[in-house]
Chains A and B, each alone.
Chain A
């Protein structure tokens, strides 16, 4: 089972919300769906769920349009907005009607309740839930049908660090069970150590569809930093091996053209001491910022204090 999004286009009045959005979500990995606000992430998810109709293009789950799915929650579990609850109903009854809608037994409600750790609060009215509890309730709803595909919109929003760690682990676990997981976020750091694959959205289309490793490597540019007291010898040796070497500080060399493994092997073989060899690794955040800079919809001006308030 996978999600396939192909050439989605949608216009709301003056705004082109989706402009050729295309990507695939594969099973067995967590796919992060990132991009600045207004890039079209939520709209894409709404189209996948059949809530919005695209002007052109298709979105399918396991090869079928969403509305063709029988008991869709058994194919794809989803959470768009954790606050979308009727406050007067207890959390358990919220899950119960959803279970009934999919022809699932009430037993599933208790199972997913335990899965997300809401057992104590499940009889309470959903209106009294904190944001974190609502996120857990939303995830419980998504897990009701034990679906092979899970899609969550901004599940990290408003969570405390503990909650973020919990969701990361939970998503890893789902991917480990060979499910396809699509998680949107506008903060790359939230997906660090969690996503295997990334779809980066900008102005309504996917500007990158790549594995996390490739993205980081591309942004890192293959630089290596070497710290050694025998600077001159090292420079000469490495240059002879075909690398570009530059001295960037006292006892610090920057090397391009050799991998860290090759560098270590070469230095060891020639008896040149060193205190550190490290591959320059761009942070995921930096890589992402670089990629999306031109796509940010709203850019803040430099802050100036209002006139008259500068005492």
Chain B
């Protein structure tokens, strides 16, 4: 397993596009977060959630995370290198596991940098606009949770891409899973809206950023992140099964 891991790590770090995508995750997350934090004002009635606002760039940053996760495996299917990989490492599930570990590590590093920059730059801007101070625990939970969120999005993409192989189709499916639930939720009645927001990978996963008015949210922060984790695990299982039982 350590040889497999070593190989996958060498593979990941020697492909320049991975570096660009990781930078994309970090830059997109930071840039949008800071822009939103700088332009948001407390309205007369209410302030938004400062944690959510200061980390809102994750909506864009996750798109780069999806591409990164998808290309970890689809990139090999696209040019046939998967055959070399599986000839070198014929036990397929450890290969997928190694890819998942390497991807998680890279995502955690990029997301942690992004989130730290967002919080350092964004929260003072918001405090200036009249947002209240958060309890430190909630803030740390939102920040760390966002890092975990991006990692889980990467794993979800990796799993789907392993199952469908084609990079374009995989990105389409993952982004559809992320973006379509909230659109449908917006237009359904309150019961369904709540249900959809509880099961949607993005809406539930980003509940980890909720720090105010927790009682009225459709799902709790950790339960929400758990829902996303279940999606990611499901996708990885599906991908693993396809990889294991289908001809390469």
Contact = CB atoms under 8 A, between A and B. Distances in A.
A72 interface: yes
Contacts of A50: 86-87, 90
Chain B interface, >50% SS class: helix
A300 B178 CA distance: 52
Interface string B63-86: 000000000000110011111111
B80 A100 contact: no
B62 to A, nearest CB: 23
A51 B248 contact: yes
B82 to A, nearest CB: 8
Given A51-B247, A86-B15, A93-B14, A98 B88 contact: yes
Counting chain B CB atoms within 10 Å of each CB, the highest count among A78, A98, A101 belongs to A101
Given A49-B86, A51-B248, A86-B76, A103 B14 contact: no
B79 A71 contact: no
A216 to B, nearest CB: 34
Contacts of B84: 80, 84-85, 98, 141
Nearest to B90: A67
Interface stretch (B3-11, B53-61, B231-239): B3-11
A200 interface: no
Interface string B86-104: 1111110000000000000
B89 A101 contact: yes
Nearest to B75: A86
Contacts of A103: 3, 6
Nearest to A12: B247
A66 B81 contact: no
Chain A interface mostly helix, strand, loop or mixed?
Answer: loop
Given A81-B83, A84-B80, A98 B7 contact: yes
B88 A52 contact: no
A69 B3 CA distance: 14
A90 to B, nearest CB: 7
Contact of B14 (A46, A52, A53, A96): A96
A72 B4 CA distance: 12
B3 A101 contact: yes
Interface in B190-241: none
Contacts of B82: 84
A71 B3 contact: yes
Contact of A81 (B8, B80, B90): B80
B44 interface: no
A102 B86 contact: no
Interface string A56-93: 00000000001101011100001011011111111001
A100 B7 CA distance: 5
B16 interface: yes
Given A53-B247, A93-B10, A96-B14, A66 B80 contact: no
Contacts of B9: 100
- Name the 7 nearest CB pairs between A and B, nearest first: A101-B7, A84-B80, A93-B14, A97-B10, A100-B6, A52-B247, A51-B248
Given A80-B84, A83-B79, 11 more contacts: A46-B83, A50-B90, A67-B91, A72-B88, A73-B87, A80-B83, A85-B84, A93-B14, A98-B88, A100-B6, A100-B9
15 contacts: A46-B248, A66-B90, A67-B91, A69-B90, A71-B3, A73-B88, A84-B82, A84-B84, A93-B14, A96-B14, A97-B11, A97-B14, A100-B6, A100-B10, A101-B3
